[in-house]
Structure 1
Amino acid sequence: MMELVYSPPVWATIIAAAFLLTTITLSVYLLFEHLSAYKNPEEQKFLIGVILMVPCYSIESFVSLVNPSISVDCEILRDCYESFAMYCFGRYLVACLGGEERTLEFMEREGRATFKTPLLHHSSHCGIVNHPFPLKYFLNPWKLGPRFYQIVKFGIVQYMIIKSFTAILAVILEAFGVYCEGEFKVGCG
């Protein structure tokens, strides 16, 4: 039996290559701009980690289009980097507020403040973060402060661990031929 080899349409490959070159060019430009004006390393080192997410996604998408047989492996690498970029973004936000101590002070101040305009429009009031439907029926509102900060930090680390673990699990399942991406069957992972 002859196996069919997938070949994307030429127009799709050309368009994808053009977008790939555009994203890499713009990302490298932005990266060099930050490195040439590296005056605030606490913020910029984490921002660089976030900026590199763009070429990571575009390379993964292009390679998956051109060679779908290795798309799972590329997707796994992208997922691992995505979890790192999420960590970088969280650390970047803390660095922008002046570090952990100043972030906690800011949250405590916001938690005590009684502004007419809430910190998070339609989801908080007087330093309280209300959850959206359906979570509001299971979780109590969170008050801005040290506990909220710990919950957010825990959530980011938990996301990093789970995302990396499931990516590695996908590699193992793919190696045994039971990954079946997007299918919900008893014999598939």
Structure 2
Amino acid sequence: EDGIAKANNASSVDGGDTSANLGHGFAFNKVEYKKFPLSYFAWVASCVSVLFTIIISSHLILKHLEYYQNPSTQKYVVRILFMAPLYAIDSLLALTFVGWMTTYIDVFRDCYEAFTIYNFLKLLVVMLGGEKEVVGVLARKPQIEMMFPLNFWAPWEMGAEMFYNCKYGALQYVIVKPCCAIITFVSGAAGLYGPNSFSLARLHFYVFLASNTSQMWAIYCLVTFYFATRDELAPFNPVLKFVIVKAVVFFCFWQGMVLG
């Protein structure tokens, strides 16, 4: 009987009460850990992967800092490279902690993702010679239509309108994401957030909607900018770099949604 009671007690600690989690605020005085050995293999594999990621990323970052001969471009490259170890550490922490802790950890990761997207756009602009040069290049190019699924919209005029719409379209995500983070913190403390819940009575649904709409618009503007300047950007081959950055974000997001 003692064994059964202990097993039931452990089960209630591991699984938790979903309705209770959604109905009350995050327990700031408690930090719960994953139970072993169920997640032992995943945790150890994550530790090894994080270690390799940090070593490789640190090597690349230190090499850029050691040969810091083009600061106008290298500062953006270094900022983008920090994304890999940050995502790796976030994944390890998500395997280590349970409950509200993982929600807060992911907020910092997502904010840096927004920062990375904007820095990628700034890197492309610097490669093309700066904002004034890019505006001039765009002004001399023939008009292009809006991309799918917004091809029914009136096209942005080539030149300043095209450039600044793309720039501010990427920049707005850097503003929206921290605002969503503040809402997550405050509503989580008040018991109104409801992580992994898509109930209309919980703020997670609205934060999720606002954040992803903002992200998709930022990506759309970044891709539009690339297609408007792809001939000039061809020598730098930025497509693969962009795909890799977004693949990390895409797979982490949908993996979290499926497992959540």
- Band of TM-score, shorter chain: 0.7 to 0.9
The answer to whether the 8 A contact 2:145-2:151 is kept is no
Does the alignment pair 1:107 with 2:121? no
Does the alignment pair 1:157 with 2:159? no
Distance 1:77 1:46 in 2: 19
| CA RMSD across the alignment | 1.8
Match of residue 13 from structure 2: 4
Does the alignment pair 1:98 with 2:129? yes
Match of residue 148 from structure 2: 132
Q: Secondary structure at the match of 1:131?
A: coil
Structure 1: give runs of 5+ residues left out of the alignment. 113-126
Distance 1:9 1:68 in 2: 12
Which amino acid in structure 2 is aligned with residue 136 of structure 1? N
More helix by share: 2
Which amino acid in structure 1 is aligned with residue 186 of structure 2? I
Q: Secondary structure at the match of 1:68?
A: coil
Could you tell me how far 1:129 is from its partner in structure 2? Answer: 4.0
Which amino acid in structure 2 is aligned with residue 100 of structure 1? E
Distance 2:151 2:130 in 1: 30
Find the partner of 1:34 among 47, 59, 64: 64
Q: Structure 1, residues 100-158: CA drift from partner, whole Å, max 9, x if none?
A: 1111122223x23xxxxxxxxxxxxxx4143212x223x22334321110101111221
Which amino acid in structure 1 is aligned with residue 69 of structure 2? K
TM-score using structure 1 length: 0.83
Shift >4 Å, 4+ stretches: none
Could you tell me how far 1:187 is from its partner in structure 2? Answer: 2.4
The answer to whether the 8 A contact 1:76-1:168 is kept is no
Distance 1:154 1:107 in 2: 16
Does the alignment pair 1:179 with 2:201? no
Find the partner of 2:155 among 129, 141, 145: 141
Which amino acid in structure 2 is aligned with residue 128 of structure 1? I
Match of residue 207 from structure 2: none
Find the partner of 1:67 among 97, 102, 125: 97
Does the alignment pair 1:44 with 2:74? yes
Which amino acid in structure 1 is aligned with residue 127 of structure 2? C
Distance 1:80 1:9 in 2: 28
The answer to whether the 8 A contact 2:114-2:177 is kept is yes
Q: Secondary structure at the match of 2:13?
A: coil
TM-score using structure 2 length: 0.62
Give the structure, 1 or 2, with the largest relative contact order (CA under 8 Å, sep 6 or more): 2
Which amino acid in structure 2 is aligned with residue 150 of structure 1? Y
Match of residue 87 from structure 1: 118
Distance 2:46 2:79 in 1: 24
